[in-house]
């Protein structure tokens, strides 16, 4: 790409020319968030992807999110700037072993977190996100046993919160498992007024010290409505861009990881760059394609979720 090219202006031009919409997750780099038409958490992005009448959905997020957009809106062309943008959580649940696990508990209903492949969605009864998981679990009759997959941390948190016993799949997010309780505690000593806010994909010990727990959208809203001036944020660092923009007078400190690298950046989310976004809009690829039988099977539990979380 010519270094003199104004990529921001070019992306705006391509949006109009191609009737394209850019949907971005909060974990994308700030430049991508700034050119997006909609920025959201997994639930908001799925809802937006379903209702858009744009011809092209450019998904600035990871593969399972773009795949979810295709499941919900198959007549649209769905593009992902880097097809290799995966997810450690989705990778932790391969379809074969998961089917065997499910078959061992035939009387259980399967609730799967949206961070999973279309194959896992197709093997599930209801999908949930971190924003609506409690509501989804509570929609299931109390005497109905539940399998929750693939995130064991979110599952354990929800089991405690709802009082429901759930059989958990042993998966986790590499970004949310990296926070150091010891370093968070030391940080809190230096910033005693700071509120600790955390995503429920974090480990139990971190969640135990959090003042507020929620999805990325819920954390952002909390940071806007709460009266504190300082926050220690235990989730991926991309969200700080919107928090800081919405509340310029507040201080947001990323919760430190248990080593000295910037491991609370999601390496999958961060594979997308503004340049790749521009090229993918220009050439209309990489594109998400899906087998129709798989798509319909994966759509069923997604529709159930969207109906419950209306
Ligand atoms: P939410 O977007 O639901 O907050 O989930 C965060 C996440 O890890 C997405 O990959
Ligand atoms: Fe997956 Fe975790 Fe990255 Fe989200 S932050 S895409 S759950 S690896």
Ligand 1 is surrounded, with C-beta below 6 A, by: 41-42, 115, 129-131, 173, 201, 215-216
Is 7-85+269-289 in CATH node 2.130.10.10? no
What does the alpha-carbon distance between residue 41 and residue 65 come to, in Å, rounded to a whole number? 10
Question: Which of 115, 131, 255, 270 to probe ligand 2 with, by most ligand atoms within 8 A of CB?
Answer: 115
**Class of 181-254 in CATH:** alpha beta
What is the full per-residue pLDDT of the chain (310 aa) written as tens digits? Answer: 888 899 999 999 999 999 999 999 999 999 999 999 999 999 999 999 999 999 999 999 999 999 999 999 999 999 999 999 999 999 999 999 999 999 999 999 999 999 999 999 999 999 999 999 999 999 999 999 999 999 999 999 999 999 999 999 999 999 999 999 999 999 999 999 999 999 999 999 999 999 999 999 999 999 999 999 999 999 999 999 999 999 999 999 999 998 877 678 999 999 999 999 999 999 999 999 999 999 999 999 999 999 998 8
* Smallest-distance ligand from the CA of 266: 2
- Model ipTM? 0.98
Nearest CA to ligand 1 atom 10: 115
Q: Are the beta carbons of 45 and 130 closer than 8 angstroms?
A: no
Q: Are the beta carbons of 252 and 231 closer than 8 angstroms?
A: yes
Is 89-173+296-308 in CATH node 3.40.1390.10? no
Give the residue extent of every domain in the chain. Answer: 7-85+269-289, 89-173+296-308, 181-254
Half-sphere exposure of 191 (CA within 13 A, CB side): 20
């Amino acid at each position: 790409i010519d270094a003199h090219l104004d990529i921001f202006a070019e992306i705006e031009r391509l949006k109009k020319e191609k009737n394209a919409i850019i949907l971005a997750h909060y974990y994308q780099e700030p430049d991508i968030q700034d050119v997006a038409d909609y920025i959201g958490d997994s639930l908001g992005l799925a809802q937006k992807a379903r209702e858009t009448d744009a011809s092209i959905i450019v998904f600035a997020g990871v593969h399972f999110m773009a795949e979810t957009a295709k499941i919900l809106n198959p007549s649209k062309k769905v593009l992902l700037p880097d097809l290799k943008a995966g997810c450690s959580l989705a990778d932790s649940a391969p379809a074969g072993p998961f089917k065997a696990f499910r078959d061992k508990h035939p009387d259980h209903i399967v609730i799967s977190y949206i961070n999973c492949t279309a194959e896992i969605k197709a093997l599930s009864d209801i999908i949930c996100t971190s924003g609506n998981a409690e509501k989804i679990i509570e929609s299931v009759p109390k005497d109905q046993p539940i399998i929750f997959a693939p995130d064991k941390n979110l599952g354990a948190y929800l089991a405690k919160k709802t009082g429901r016993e759930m059989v958990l799949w042993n998966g986790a997010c590499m970004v949310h498992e990296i926070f150091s309780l010891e370093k968070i505690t030391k940080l809190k000593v230096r910033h005693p007024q700071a509120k600790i806010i955390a995503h429920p994909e974090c480990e139990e010990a971190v969640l135990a010290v959090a003042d507020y727990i929620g999805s990325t959208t819920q954390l952002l809203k909390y940071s806007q409505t709460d009266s504190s001036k300082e926050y220690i944020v235990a989730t991926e660092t991309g969200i700080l861009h919107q928090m800081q923009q919405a509340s310029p007078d507040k201080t947001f400190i990323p919760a430190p990881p248990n080593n000295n690298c910037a491991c609370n950046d999601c390496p999958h989310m961060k594979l997308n760059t503004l340049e790749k976004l521009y090229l993918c809009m220009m050439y209309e690829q990489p594109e998400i394609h899906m087998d129709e039988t798989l798509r319909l099977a994966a759509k069923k539990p997604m529709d159930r979720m969207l109906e419950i979380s209306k």
